[in-house]
Amino acid sequence: MDDINRVISSDKGSKYNSRDILESVLESLPYVALVFSGDRKLIFANTKMLDYFDIHDIADIVDNKPGCAIRCVHATEKPGGCGASDFCRHCGLSKIITSSFASRHKFSGECRFSVVKGGSPAPMDVYVSCSPLRIEEQELMVVSLQDISGEKRRQILERVFFEDILDSAGNLASFAEYIKLCDDMAQVRKNLDLFVEISNTLVTQIKEQKDLIAAENGLLKVNYTLIESVPFMKTIAAQITRSAIFEERKIAFADDSVNFHFVSDPHIAANILRNMMKNALEASLPGSTVICRTWFEDDEVLFSVHNDSLIPEDVKVHVFECSFSTKGDGHGFGTYAMKLFAEKYLGGKIFFSSLPEHGTTFQLSIPFKTELEDY
């Protein structure tokens, strides 16, 4: 972009028009490119931008700020549009553009946000590059966006899968070595439950990854059956708390939990609740108790999982994004998968609250159906 800047800056008196050169160059790029004025309002977008964000006419977005131009889901939350919502204070795209404008130097970096595509929120991981440009004494900013969501998902999926599988396989190998060296078969038999638990964990991890890949590609099949709410949730809790990782933490059920029957897919629902419980346990201190609850209201089946920890403000806005995690590299799909399974396959919703005086509660809501014929 610096070369383009030099060419355009030196073409005074040339038969070529600076703006025509810039537009031609940006149209030739294989990724989204936009040009903003000094007051951060859009003045040009290439065809790739219009196609990628399902925009029919550039006139629909000219003079818009960055978030409004790309149809960020947060741009309509407050009357002020882009820059007015709580998310905007932590927006990576805004920070990169602002830094480049302020310094008049090129800035680039990765960021994540969600945009409206096809009428639904779509999370994106992008590589952003911002370069200042002067044309005819006018200060401009050229912004390019390269979608790296697929690459991010693939990297994280591979890391999560292999790290979890290797951990479980390592436990199995250790147990096999223990059996080999132990002369007391009575003692071995006492520990067979542990062997079964590790084996089941390994199978569950493989199934969860398989389901996530199928769900992302729209291939996950939904199989409805009748479920009893409290035993269903307690079975999942018992499976999780048997793990040595959570041995110093407990799961209890609220006294006002309601036991009732409803129709849904038990495999997908269990996947969501398992992630809710595991996240709550991981966020809790040793000796803590996670509280689960189930009930129904009108046409909704509701499940909640509560822990005493607090989610930081700058983390809240990213909770359901596919590659975000507070746990470091190799994580980031638990909450994303919960939302994907709940909304796309069970017709439900998942949301959370996190307040200093109340702790953190994740809640799953799905349609309350009692007859298989309803589906």
pLDDT at residue 319, as a whole number: 82
Q: What local confidence, expressed as pLDDT, does residue 7 receive?
A: 40
Contacts of residue 103, Cβ cutoff 8 Å, sequence gap at least 6: none
* Domain 222-375: assigned CATH number: 3.30.565.10
Q: What is the per-residue DSSP string for 113-152?
A: EEEEETTEEEEEEEEEEEEEEEETTEEEEEEEEEE-HHHH
- Closest by CA to 73, choosing from 96, 93, 99, 45, is 93
Q: Looking at residue 2, what is its pLDDT?
A: 46
Question: Could you tell me which CATH class the domain 2-147 is placed in?
Answer: alpha beta
pLDDT at position 170 is 82
The per-residue pLDDT for 18 is: 72
Q: What is the pLDDT of residue 17?
A: 67
Burial of 174 by CB count in 10 Å (0-12 exposed, 13-18 middle, 19+ buried)? exposed
Give every CB contact of residue 182 below 8 A, 6+ residues apart in sequence: 188
pLDDT at 200: 80
Q: How far, in Å, CA of 138 to CA of 215, rounded? A: 48
Task: Going from the first residue of the chain to its last (375 residues), give the mean pLDDT of each consecutive group of 10, the final group possibly shorter.
Answer: 45 60 85 90 91 87 91 88 85 90 90 82 88 85 89 74 78 82 80 78 81 80 93 91 79 96 93 92 92 95 96 82 54 74 92 93 95 73
> What pLDDT is stored for residue 290 in this prediction?
96
Q: Are 106 and 132 in contact (CB under 8 A)?
A: yes
Overall pTM surpassing 0.85 (yes/no): no
Ordered by start, the domain boundaries in the chain are 2-147, 151-220, 222-375
Identify which of 369, 345, 80, 318 has the alpha carbon closest to the alpha carbon of residue 216: 345
Cα–Cα dist 317/180, whole Å? 50
